[in-house]
Chain A
Amino acid sequence: MKARILAILSLLMICFGIRGEEARPLRPVLSAFTVEGGTAHVIETYLSPLRYSGQRFGVGYERMQAMKFDPSRWTMDLEVRLMCSHTLNPAHNATMWHGSVEGRWSMMRTWRRGPWRYYAGGNTDLDLGVMYNARNSNNPVAAKAAWTVGVTGAVAFNTKLRGVPVCLRYMAMLPLTGAFFSPAYGELYYEIYLGNRHGLCRAAWPGNYFRLDNLLSADLRFGGTVLRLGYRLDVRSSEASHIVTRTVTHTAVVGVASEWISLPAKRPLQETDRIINALY
């Protein structure tokens, strides 16, 4: 009888996570605030058949953290960006603005091999924006909206540069499917306003909605503060109803990042705790 009670108690302790001195995984959050600036090349044939070129700038926030259910093997990455492009036509007498806000959440299987980290997984991305060409009469605007599901891959290498810990990372995102908004070839937004909303939502696949978002970054860790320097190449090309939208942007990325962790007051940091960083 006594042995049976002990067995039940042991089982309950396992179920409720009472494991005595067992290592507790702690998952610091890596938060990064960045600014981006660079060049943009835009073709939006609904507004103009010509290629516009100019500047691109924006701000971004990234949050990376090992995932709760299996922290040593899975990592999540949340990225929010607010971007704006100001471009001119080849004759430099017309302006096109492109503003967008984007949120992306990735969940990646993580492999840790010494200083190397490898990530591969999926993402879901919501991208909303608008292009505006002031010289046009009834077609001055092209609205952009896309929700996609795709793959994310990354590789990171932790090293030291003159004694400063550095994390070099290359990260790429490629949408595979989803849905995006597009009017028909010659459809006015006024007709949509009048109520004709037929066929505005298009199924996306890489053949009609291609995007490859590449980020190459170096995180230089000065104590608790991280300086992030990077380069982003974002290539997009979509076609729906013979309307082609193509944007290629090259931006330099500068930002600050930090890792933080919140611990319950009842159970502060202990020697046995195991810290699982998302990136470093």
Chain B
Amino acid sequence: MKTQRLRYYILGVTFVLAALLSLPGCHKVENWDNDLYGNFDALWTILDEHYCFFEDKDVDWDAVRTHYRSQLKPGMDYNEFFDVCSAMLDELRDGHTNLISWFDVSYYRQWWTDYPQNFNLRIVQQYYLNFDYHSSGGMIWGKLPDCNVGYLYYSSFSSPVNSSFIDNMMLSLKDCDGLIIDVRDNGGGDIDNVRKLVGHFISERISGGYIRHKTGPGHSDFSEPYEFFIDTAEGHVRWLKYVVVLANRSTFSAANNFVSVMKPLPHVLVAGDTTGGGSGMPFSSELPCGWSVRFSACPVYDADMNLTEYGVEPSEGCKVDMDAQAALRGHDTIIDFAVLAITTAAEEHGRFVAPQSTGFEH
């Protein structure tokens, strides 16, 4: 009797242990071979499960897989394979999506290559600042000649926002009617720098927009949008006079976000061209061969829940291109437009709107 009970006991314990030990097997992890097809499938699957704009961009990712997988040929070298994978990623039309190998980085460029550049830093430095400007990190500032307007150029949001530098600039320009913030050719960087910089231009807490994330591998598995806020730069100087933000198609990612946050402010106009977009915060992953891939994973929206992946348009009446002929004579017609907007508004003490003329006489 005792022996039988012991047998049942041992059997029971064995069963429970076996059941417990089999539990981790339920946590499935995909495996890919380190060959052409394995790496291709890994790349396709990573994007399939994590990329966030399939539905917004109406991309048939299954069809993309079929099309590009058929281009793989046994024995193709890694350069050819890289080109096939890059072409597949280009189907996403996303400047935040890159394939990074030890010999090359794929990059979708058409978000800016199909548009005028609308910026020449040398013209600004030479003809507007007379090479006499202050700089720190990725910022330069100075007072523009023949007008009462200050100018700040921020080349990259990867450079930390130095609030002391901003304070000093604002105090130095305190008698100016307005300030131009130039983020043309600013390809983005750390989005937290957006919050720091915007904090200098608001008098109270504002909505910074919304962010979502994927909750699963399905193309429409998203969380509810989460609204985030931007606080004023407490203890620092704040600029509540007129501001014109200058943008071009190369204003991308965090800089695109900066423009989308600044645009609704009543004392701000956005002038120049539509920004380049890039509103998906990127994630990174990697392939068995050691290449890494970066892609948009978390969409960020503006305060009205508009997706800014395709860019932020200038304020009404503020779409201005750089005049190539004028540029040859040292004129940046976008800056001229901004100066005119500030000067006109200061003279009329009215609502801050686009001026009637473009500011440059041909």
Measured CB to CB, the residues of A under 8 A from B are 43, 45, 48-51, 89-94, 135-140, 174, 184-188, 190-191, 194-196, 206-207, 210, 212, 235, 237-239, 241-242, 244, 246
Known: A93-B102, A210-B20, A212-B21. A50 touches B288 (CB 8 A): yes
Closest 6 CB pairs of A and B: A91-B290, A186-B214, A237-B24, A136-B284, A187-B213, A194-B228
Query: Which residue of B is nearest A248, CB measured?
Result: B24
The minimal Cβ–Cβ distance linking B215 to chain A, given in whole angstroms, is: 5
Check A237 against B27 for contact (C-beta < 8 Å). yes
Check B288 against A194 for contact (C-beta < 8 Å). no
Check B23 against A206 for contact (C-beta < 8 Å). yes
Check A244 against B42 for contact (C-beta < 8 Å). no
Check A186 against B286 for contact (C-beta < 8 Å). no
Check A239 against B228 for contact (C-beta < 8 Å). no
Question: Of A45, A93, A186, A194, which is within 8 A of B29 by CB?
Answer: A45
Check B292 against A196 for contact (C-beta < 8 Å). no
Check B20 against A174 for contact (C-beta < 8 Å). yes
Check A94 against B213 for contact (C-beta < 8 Å). no
Query: For chain B residues 191-239, which have a beta carbon within 8 Å of chain A?
Result: 191-192, 211, 213-217, 221, 223, 226, 228
Q: Is B143 among interface residues, defined by CB-CB distance under 8 A? A: no
Question: Of B24, B191, B284, which is within 8 A of A235 by CB?
Answer: B24
Check A49 against B297 for contact (C-beta < 8 Å). no
Check A244 against B28 for contact (C-beta < 8 Å). yes
Q: Which residues of B contact A138 (CB under 8 A)?
A: 281-284, 297
Q: Which residues of A contact B281 (CB under 8 A)?
A: 138, 188, 190
Q: Is B63 among interface residues, defined by CB-CB distance under 8 A? A: no
- Among A50, A93, A235, A237, the most chain B Cβ lie within 10 Å of the Cβ of A50
Query: For chain B residues 258-315, which have a beta carbon within 8 Å of chain A?
Result: 281-286, 288-290, 292, 294, 297-298
Check A242 against B216 for contact (C-beta < 8 Å). yes
Q: Which residues of B contact A212 (CB under 8 A)?
A: 20-21
Known: A185-B217, A210-B24. A49 touches B29 (CB 8 A): yes
The minimal Cβ–Cβ distance linking B352 to chain A, given in whole angstroms, is: 29
Q: Is B50 among interface residues, defined by CB-CB distance under 8 A? A: yes
Check A89 against B290 for contact (C-beta < 8 Å). yes
Query: Which residue of B is nearest A93, CB measured?
Result: B290
- Provide the bound-state CA to CA distance between A244 and B23, in Å: 13
- Provide the bound-state CA to CA distance between A49 and B23, in Å: 20
Check B284 against A186 for contact (C-beta < 8 Å). no
Q: Is B34 among interface residues, defined by CB-CB distance under 8 A? A: yes
Check B216 against A49 for contact (C-beta < 8 Å). no
Query: Which residue of A is nearest B52, CB measured?
Result: A186
Check B285 against A184 for contact (C-beta < 8 Å). no
Check B21 against A194 for contact (C-beta < 8 Å). no
Q: Which residues of A contact B42 (CB under 8 A)?
A: 49
- Taking A50-B288, A186-B214, A191-B211 as given, write out 14 further A-B residue pairs in contact, using a Cβ cutoff of 8 Å, ordered by the A residue number: A51-B29, A89-B286, A89-B290, A90-B34, A90-B290, A136-B285, A138-B283, A185-B214, A186-B213, A187-B223, A194-B228, A210-B24, A239-B27, A241-B216
Q: Is B84 among interface residues, defined by CB-CB distance under 8 A? A: no
Question: Of B29, B46, B215, B289, which is within 8 A of A244 by CB?
Answer: B29
Q: Is B30 among interface residues, defined by CB-CB distance under 8 A? A: yes
> Would you mind naming 12 contact pairs between A and B with Cβ atoms under 8 Å apart?
A45-B29, A48-B285, A89-B286, A138-B281, A138-B284, A174-B20, A185-B214, A185-B221, A186-B215, A191-B211, A206-B23, A241-B216
Known: A185-B215, A188-B213. A49 touches B46 (CB 8 A): yes
Q: Which residues of B contact A238 (CB under 8 A)?
A: 27
Q: Which residues of A contact B294 (CB under 8 A)?
A: 137
Q: Which residues of B contact A135 (CB under 8 A)?
A: 284, 286, 292
- Provide the bound-state CA to CA distance between A20 and B153, in Å: 89
- Provide the bound-state CA to CA distance between A238 and B29, in Å: 11
Check A195 against B228 for contact (C-beta < 8 Å). yes
Q: Is B26 among interface residues, defined by CB-CB distance under 8 A? A: yes
Known: A187-B298, A188-B298, A244-B28. A91 touches B223 (CB 8 A): no
Known: A139-B284, A195-B228. A241 touches B298 (CB 8 A): no
Known: A137-B283, A190-B281. A90 touches B288 (CB 8 A): yes
- Provide the bound-state CA to CA distance between A6 and B282, in Å: 84
Known: A186-B215, A188-B298. A94 touches B286 (CB 8 A): yes
Known: A138-B281, A138-B283. A191 touches B298 (CB 8 A): yes
Question: Of B26, B283, B288, which is within 8 A of A207 by CB?
Answer: B26
Q: Which residues of B contact A246 (CB under 8 A)?
A: 24, 27, 29
Known: A50-B288, A94-B286, A196-B226. A185 touches B23 (CB 8 A): no
- Provide the bound-state CA to CA distance between A49 and B39, in Å: 12
Query: For chain B residues 23-67, which have a beta carbon within 8 Å of chain A?
Result: 23-24, 26-30, 34, 42, 46, 50, 52
- Among B24, B191, B282, the most chain A Cβ lie within 10 Å of the Cβ of B24
Query: Which residue of A is nearest B291, CB measured?
Result: A91
- Among A90, A185, A191, the most chain B Cβ lie within 10 Å of the Cβ of A185
Check B284 against A137 for contact (C-beta < 8 Å). yes
Question: Of A48, A184, A207, which is within 8 A of B286 by CB?
Answer: A48
Q: Which residues of A contact B288 (CB under 8 A)?
A: 50, 90-91
- Provide the bound-state CA to CA distance between A195 and B227, in Å: 9
Check A49 against B30 for contact (C-beta < 8 Å). yes
Q: Which residues of B contact A241 (CB under 8 A)?
A: 215-216
- Provide the bound-state CA to CA distance between A245 and B291, in Å: 22
Query: Which residue of A is nearest B225, CB measured?
Result: A196
